[in-house]
């Protein structure tokens, strides 16, 4: 590095790695996603929304971002359960069976004082015909205000045997540490 007078003021080694050859040659569509959340599609995109179309059944969904290797869309699908995810990029198409999962969190009391408790009910719908476990993350992002039975970041799986009438209900106890606003989220996550 040189200063404004052209005098060297610092030097550091720089490592250069070879770039991987080319972008993906095929499209890789997700098999599952949460209603309202973002979905990632890997593949040979051109970076231009005008040449891209994504549908769940016959309903177009929102395109969010596109690069030469990836497309991000929002699962704005209003229904839940199994559907067909279809992609068109220029003259190429791909499709896959896709499960759209609705996640609903509810508590009877949202303002807790120190030591007060309430019950968090998490209901997942759209699970009809589930054949493999779905990974979830239940997260308390307000650990200074409340505690959540199961921990602040509980990862677990919904097994097909737990599904009743296409849904699963999970309950956790929320305990107040101090008065204040708090946030808990539940997300369908990628298998790791």
Query: Residue with structure tokens 């179309």?
Result: 53
Q: How far is CA 188 from the centre of its chain?
A: 6
Whole-number Å distance between alpha carbons of 74 and 39: 6
Helix (H, G, I), strand (E, B) or coil at 132: coil
Residues ≥6 apart with Cβ < 8 Å to 56: 75, 77, 83, 84, 85, 86, 98, 100
Question: Which strand (E) or helix (H) includes residue 119?
Answer: strand 117-125
pLDDT per position as a tens digit, 4-39: 888 877 777 766 655 455 556 899 999 999 999 999
Burial class, 163, CB count within 10 angstroms (exposed 0-12 / middle 13-18 / buried 19+): middle
Q: Are 158 and 102 in contact (CB under 8 A)?
A: no
Strands 92-106, 117-125: pairing kind: antiparallel
Look at residue 14 in the predicted model and tell me its pLDDT.
63
Whole-number Å distance between alpha carbons of 40 and 47: 14
Where residue 186 falls among pLDDT bands split at 50, 70, 90? very high
Numbered ranges of CATH 2.60.40.10 in the chain: 32-101
Burial class, 5, CB count within 10 angstroms (exposed 0-12 / middle 13-18 / buried 19+): exposed
pLDDT per position as a tens digit, 83-103: 999 999 999 999 999 999 999
pLDDT per position as a tens digit, 154-185: 999 999 999 999 999 999 999 999 999 999 99
CATH code matching the domain that covers 32-101, chosen among 2.60.40.3950, 2.60.40.10, 3.30.2290.10, 3.40.109.10: 2.60.40.10
Look at residue 17 in the predicted model and tell me its pLDDT.
53
Strands 117-125, 184-188: pairing kind: unpaired
Look at residue 15 in the predicted model and tell me its pLDDT.
62
Q: Which CATH class is domain 107-188?
A: mainly beta
Question: Which strand (E) or helix (H) includes residue 188?
Answer: strand 184-188
pLDDT per position as a tens digit, 115-148: 999 999 999 999 999 999 999 999 999 999 999 9
Q: Are 124 and 131 in contact (CB under 8 A)?
A: no
Whole-number Å distance between alpha carbons of 142 and 146: 6
Whole-number Å distance between alpha carbons of 116 and 175: 6
């Amino acid at each position: 590095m040189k200063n404004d007078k052209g005098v060297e003021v610092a030097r550091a080694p720089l490592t250069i790695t070879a770039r991987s050859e080319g972008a993906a040659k095929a499209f890789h569509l997700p098999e599952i996603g949460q209603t309202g959340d973002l979905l990632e599609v890997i593949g040979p995109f051109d970076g231009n929304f005008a040449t891209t179309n994504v549908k769940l059944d016959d309903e177009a969904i929102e395109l969010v971002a596109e690069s030469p290797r990836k497309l991000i869309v929002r699962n704005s699908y209003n229904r839940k359960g199994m559907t067909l995810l279809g992609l068109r990029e220029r003259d190429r198409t791909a499709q896959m069976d896709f499960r759209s999962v609705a996640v609903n969190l509810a508590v009877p009391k949202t303002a807790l004082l120190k030591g007060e408790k309430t019950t968090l009910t998490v209901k997942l719908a759209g699970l009809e015909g589930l054949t493999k476990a779905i990974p979830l993350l239940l997260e308390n992002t307000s650990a200074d205000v409340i505690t959540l039975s199961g921990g602040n970041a509980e990862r677990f799986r919904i097994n097909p045997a737990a599904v009743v009438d296409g849904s699963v209900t999970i309950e956790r106890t929320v305990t107040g540490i101090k008065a204040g606003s708090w946030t808990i989220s539940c997300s369908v996550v990628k298998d790791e």
